[in-house]
């Protein structure tokens, strides 16, 4: 990056030198990329600022799998090229700017340029990343011309993070990449439509040999295609399933998996008989139960009752239902695990069952981080009372080792929720210890994050500010933010 800094600094200095030789003028209505723009405002901007802006727009190749939905750096090459003609040259000659490749064939059909011209621009875009690994996003309902797909397949050796939202009919066209994916580390695959009838037996696998692949996500009805992957090397597996047998038959083939995230589609047929199935996995440490499209059925015992996860340390519950809480209780007891991170993204419609789980489940006694993602129910009196340290009976508090709390509020009155939570924080920042010296020690709360999905102010009065300041002086780290989700 030092070489890039020096190159950018030299280029910006050259541009500023050109500006100084030109007469000062107001900001022009349009910028000609081939003619230096004269503006004294630009002359006063330190070179270091230009460098920081440039670096901000460059995708960092060392980052985790690229998030195609929330990081719109794909516009960076074009945007940088409009700053000045020098930056256009820098952008074209910076391969790392072109390593994020997003393709929407729906937009291609609406393009004003003829298909031949679009295909030419597409090939040029792919060439500008040189030999660097690329992060690829393909969104194609049905239309996917060979002139667009073939250049992608030609550079598949450079694919690293891949998101495919394509029609099942296009899957056979990917057969040529099967054993040409040396850099692939993550793949997310979603078929655009449900596979009708029985899967086609001769549908080729998308991935055969991919030595770097560790993260695999099969969304929607991808499992229906019965594609094969190098299961034994997968460490993070995410899937939507209809029939639990689909998952129970795959998990044993992934001995190195440490994170399992499941979303449940509504059942459409009679379940497969799996009465005697038991799947024990000693490596899974992170387990997430989710629902799809807000189906309230959640995850009944037809899946959870067949799992045994002794190494489980992070449990995320993103579905509601009384039977779900009962099944989780049985899973924890059967697994004899120690959960240290608990994430709850449920509506707390069955608060009594949740509190019973927190009070009676020994596997939750060592939770040190609690994440809550919900609306009003998470600041209900009963739930806050269970988390509040009582001076008369400190040993009765749930999760005595709790050190961190993350709260994401989905309410129009987040400030009211914060006021109610202050009592919980104050009781745990310097907790009273049980009189019995043999009893486990209560750990002090160290960090709190409070966020809101709405842009309504979280803190709106002097009393709340003073109480938060008191918590900070007592040693609590307090962060207040606006965010869509807690991860």
pLDDT digits (tens, 9 = 90+) for 291-319: 644 444 545 556 777 889 999 999 887 76
Could you tell me how far CA 477 lies from the centroid of its own chain?
A: 24
Rg of the chain on CA atoms, in Å:
27
Give me the pLDDT at residue 190, please. Answer: 92
The ranges assigned to domains in the chain are 2-61
> SS3 breakdown of the chain: % helix, strand, coil, rounded to 5?
40, 15, 45
Sequence-distant (6+) residues with CB within 8 A of 144 are 105, 166, 167, 170, 173
C-alpha to C-alpha distance for 406 and 372, rounded to whole angstroms:
6
Mean per-residue pLDDT, 440-465 = 82
Tell me phi and psi for residue 345, to 5 degrees.
-120, 40
Give me the pLDDT at residue 305, please. Answer: 79
Mean per-residue pLDDT, 425-429 = 93
H-helix or E-strand containing 164?
Answer: strand 159-166
Query: Is 106's pLDDT higher than 80?
Result: no
Using CB atoms within 10 Å of the CB of residue 126, give its burial: 0 to 12 exposed, 13 to 18 middle, 19+ buried. middle
C-alpha to C-alpha distance for 127 and 95, rounded to whole angstroms:
9
C-alpha to C-alpha distance for 470 and 476, rounded to whole angstroms:
9
Give me the pLDDT at residue 115, please. Answer: 79
Using CB atoms within 10 Å of the CB of residue 430, give its burial: 0 to 12 exposed, 13 to 18 middle, 19+ buried. middle
Using CB atoms within 10 Å of the CB of residue 170, give its burial: 0 to 12 exposed, 13 to 18 middle, 19+ buried. middle
C-alpha to C-alpha distance for 62 and 48, rounded to whole angstroms:
23
H-helix or E-strand containing 14?
Answer: helix 2-21
Question: What are 408's two structure tokens?
Answer: 């994401």
Mean per-residue pLDDT, 276-290 = 83
Q: Is the Cβ–Cβ distance between 260 and 288 less than 8 Å?
A: yes
Q: Is the pTM of this model over 0.85?
A: no
Predicted confidence band at 163 (pLDDT cuts at 50, 70, 90)?
very high
Give me the pLDDT at residue 210, please. Answer: 94
The 3-class SS string of 59-118 reads: CCCCCCCCCCCCCCHHHHHHHHHCCCHHHHHHHHCCHHHHCEEEEEHHHHHCCCCCHHHH
Residues 111-130 pLDDT 10s:
677 878 888 888 998 999 99
Q: Which of 76-80, 226-230, 450-454, 472-476 has the lowest mean pLDDT?
A: 76-80
Predicted confidence band at 202 (pLDDT cuts at 50, 70, 90)?
low
């Amino acid at each position: 990056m030092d070489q890039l800094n020096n190159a950018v600094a030299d280029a910006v200095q050259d541009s500023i030198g050109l500006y100084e030789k030109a007469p000062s003028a107001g900001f022009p209505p349009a910028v000609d990329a081939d003619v230096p723009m004269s503006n004294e405002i630009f002359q006063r901007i330190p070179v270091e600022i230009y460098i920081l802006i440039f670096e901000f727009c460059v995708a960092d190749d060392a980052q985790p799998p690229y998030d195609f939905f929330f990081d719109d750096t794909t516009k960076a090459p074009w945007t940088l090229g409009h700053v000045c003609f020098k930056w256009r040259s820098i952008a074209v000659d910076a391969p790392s700017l072109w390593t994020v490749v997003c393709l929407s064939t729906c937009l291609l059909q609406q393009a004003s340029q003829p298909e031949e011209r679009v295909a030419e621009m597409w090939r040029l875009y792919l060439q500008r990343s040189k030999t660097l690994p690329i992060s690829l996003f393909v969104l194609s309902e049905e239309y996917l011309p060979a002139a667009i797909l073939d250049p992608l397949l030609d550079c598949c050796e450079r694919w690293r993070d891949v998101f495919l939202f394509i029609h099942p009919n296009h899957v056979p066209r990917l057969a040529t990449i099967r054993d040409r994916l040396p850099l692939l580390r993550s793949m997310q695959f979603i078929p655009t439509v449900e596979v009708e009838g029985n899967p086609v037996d001769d549908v080729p696998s998308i991935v055969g040999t991919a030595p770097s692949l560790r993260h695999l996500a099969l969304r929607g009805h991808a499992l229906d295609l019965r594609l094969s992957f190098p299961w034994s090397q997968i460490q993070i597996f995410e899937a939507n399933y209809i029939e639990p047998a689909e998952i129970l038959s795959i998990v044993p083939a992934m001995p190195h998996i440490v994170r399992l995230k499941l979303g449940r589609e509504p059942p459409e047929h009679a379940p497969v008989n799996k009465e005697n199935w038991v799947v024990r996995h000693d490596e899974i440490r992170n387990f997430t139960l989710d629902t799809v499209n807000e189906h309230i059925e959640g995850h009944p015992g037809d899946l959870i009752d067949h799992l045994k996860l002794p190494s489980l340390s992070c449990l995320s519950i993103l579905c509601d239902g009384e039977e779900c809480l009962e099944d989780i209780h049985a899973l924890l007891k059967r697994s004899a695990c120690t959960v240290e991170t608990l994430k709850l993204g449920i509506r707390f419609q069955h608060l009594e069952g949740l509190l019973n789980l927190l009070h009676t489940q020994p596997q939750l006694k060592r939770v040190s981080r609690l994440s809550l993602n919900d609306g009003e129910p998470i600041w209900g009196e009963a739930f806050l009372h269970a988390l509040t340290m009582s001076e008369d009976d400190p040993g009765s508090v749930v999760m005595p080792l709790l050190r961190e709390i993350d709260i994401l509020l989905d309410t129009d009155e987040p400030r009211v929720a914060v006021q109610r939570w202050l009592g919980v924080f104050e009781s745990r920042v310097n907790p009273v210890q049980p009189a019995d010296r043999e009893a486990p020690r209560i750990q002090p709360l160290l960090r709190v994050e409070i966020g809101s999905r709405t842009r309504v102010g979280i803190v709106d009065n002097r009393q709340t500010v003073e109480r938060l300041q008191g918590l900070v002086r007592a040693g609590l780290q307090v962060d207040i933010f606006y965010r869509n989700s807690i991860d």
